[in-house]
Amino acid sequence: MVFQSGEFDLSSPKYASDILVEGDVHGKFEVYFQEGLDSDEILSCLNEEQDVIDCISDFLGSFAEQILVEKDLDIFRTLADTAKYGVAVVDLDGTLLYLNEAFATMHGYSPEEIPGGDFLMFCDDDQVPRLKYLLDMVLAEGHFKQEEVWNMRKNGSIFPAMVDCNVIFDKDNVPSQLSIMIHDISETKNAEECLKRAQALEDAANCSKSEFLANVSHELRTPLNSVIGFSEILLDGRCGDLNDIQRRYLQNVSKNGNHLSEIINDILEISMIEAGKEEVTFEMFGMVPVIMEVKDSIMHSILEKDVSFSYDLDPDLPQINADKAKFRHIIYNLLSNAVKFTSEGGTVTIDAVTLGDMVHITIKDDGIGIPKEQLPHLYDKFYQVDGSTKRLYSGTGLGLALTKKLVGLHEGQMWVESEQGKGTKVHVMLPL
């Protein structure tokens, strides 16, 4: 910056003062003298005017800073006034310095009557101590995020809000103000309440359905046991000899009676688990003998469909601490399912390996597979992959639902990989 009259020596300034803007040098105030002045005259002038020159430099720096601040404030106000969230700026005592229109409207005020005063005037009385604590916390830590509070409108009604708060530092990095952003979450909370009520109704309906199924199953079990028992007595010949037709009919009665008994037992067991009444009796036992026992129990189905059954079971598999009957039930459900959904001449395999303190059991078939869109529903009770009236495979749709719950009782995991037309692979992880 040069003020010039007459001829000046501009080769170098006789005095220069930095113009500082927010601590950074953004220019210089330089002093030049007319040609022909001797050194004594220059020195005398500088001694007299140096303070004035420095004051001018400071003024220019402060003026530039003010322009920058006002420019930043204009940008901030433009952004805040168009924001859909409430924005407020308070000093460290909580005195309101700025509110945007959304904040005023949210609290029941018109933009023309945006109030001043203490920020806590917007808080429900019960929330004041907590909000004071949060403001103290933000000063200590610099910010807090996603705190849920209850704010108060002009008419005295309260509403839930989500609050974010940050410290605003001055040019010397000293906390000077707080910026607060508030979002009215009334709609979100209402939706959550509706969802909770719907879930409660669904749980009540499921509970009633489970109780109904359990009661009906209990009522069916007694007469069914009589049917099965008497058919076995007749088949044993204890009531006289049977001709071939009588024996075949009684075998059908016994077979279907036992099948119905299995369904009833599954319904009762899944109802007990859902009611939290199912007991788990842990004991140490070898897994391989139980798996082979299950294989033998479904051998008639394997032979009937000419299914190739293979297994890779390490004879040195460690013992597992589990409920033996429920472990057997898990393996039975998965193996019988694999055989059921495998075409004649297909293949079913079972493998078991230890992974740390877990055993990983996989049962694989090359059967019909499961469509990708139906995989999320596999564990729904009574769900059938083929739900048509002409489906080729019988079943109640309880097997996988029950198996998943039995695995859960052992704090294990179960998941299914499948591709339609290529088969299915079921994974079970159980703690040893």
- pLDDT tens-digit readout, 290-319: 888 888 888 888 888 888 888 887 777 888
pLDDT attached to residue 246? 81
Instruction: Reply yes or no on whether the pLDDT at 244 is more than 60.
Output: yes
Establish how many alpha carbons lie within 13 A of residue 353's alpha carbon, considering only the half-sphere containing its beta carbon: 5
Torsion of CA 413, 418, 424, 427, to 10 degrees: -10
The phi, psi pair for 93, rounded to 5°, reads: -90, 0
Instruction: Reply yes or no on whether the pLDDT at 25 is more than 80.
Output: no
Instruction: Reply yes or no on whether the pLDDT at 74 is more than 80.
Output: no
Least confident of 81-85, 297-301, 389-393: 389-393
Q: Are 378 and 399 in contact (CB under 8 A)?
A: no
pLDDT range class, residue 143, cuts 50, 70, 90: low
Instruction: Reply yes or no on whether the pLDDT at 29 is more than 70.
Output: no
Distance CA 183, CA 161 (A): 5
Distance CA 131, CA 165 (A): 11
Distance CA 365, CA 362 (A): 10
pLDDT range class, residue 392, cuts 50, 70, 90: very low
Establish how many alpha carbons lie within 13 A of residue 4's alpha carbon, considering only the half-sphere containing its beta carbon: 11
Q: Are 341 and 393 in contact (CB under 8 A)?
A: yes
- pLDDT tens-digit readout, 399-409: 788 888 888 88
Place of tokens 């489906």: 391
Query: Between vectors from CA 263 to CA 261 and to CA 266, what angle results, nearest 5°?
Result: 110
Distance CA 121, CA 132 (A): 12
pLDDT attached to residue 4? 43
pLDDT attached to residue 3? 44
Q: What is the pTM of this model?
A: 0.47
- pLDDT tens-digit readout, 47-71: 545 555 555 545 444 544 454 444 4
pLDDT range class, residue 352, cuts 50, 70, 90: confident
pLDDT attached to residue 45? 52
- pLDDT tens-digit readout, 90-117: 888 777 777 787 888 888 887 677 666 7
- By residue count, the chain amounts to 432
Instruction: Reply yes or no on whether the pLDDT at 387 is more than 70.
Output: no
Percent of the chain surpassing pLDDT 70? 70
* 283-431 placed in CATH 3.30.565.10: yes
- pLDDT tens-digit readout, 34-44: 555 555 554 55
b/e string for 270-304 if b means 16 or more Cβ within 10 A? bbebbeeebeeeeeeeebeebbeebbeebeeebee
Least confident of 223-232, 285-294, 412-421: 223-232
Which tokens in the block code for residue 259?
């099948």
Pairing outcome for strands 96-99 and 86-91: antiparallel
- pLDDT tens-digit readout, 247-270: 888 888 877 777 777 777 777 777
pLDDT attached to residue 226? 77
- What rounded mean pLDDT belongs to the chain? 73
pLDDT range class, residue 388, cuts 50, 70, 90: very low
* 190-274 placed in CATH 3.90.600.10: no
Q: Which residues have C-beta within 8 Å of that of residue 93, sequence separation ≥ 6? A: none
| Spatial CA neighbour of 352 closest among 400, 327, 325, 317 | 317
Separation of first and last alpha carbons in the chain: 84
pLDDT attached to residue 248? 83
CATH of 84-184, one of 3.20.20.300, 3.30.450.20, 3.40.50.720, 1.10.3720.10: 3.30.450.20
Q: In this predicted model, which residue has the larger pLDDT, 4 or 396?
A: 396
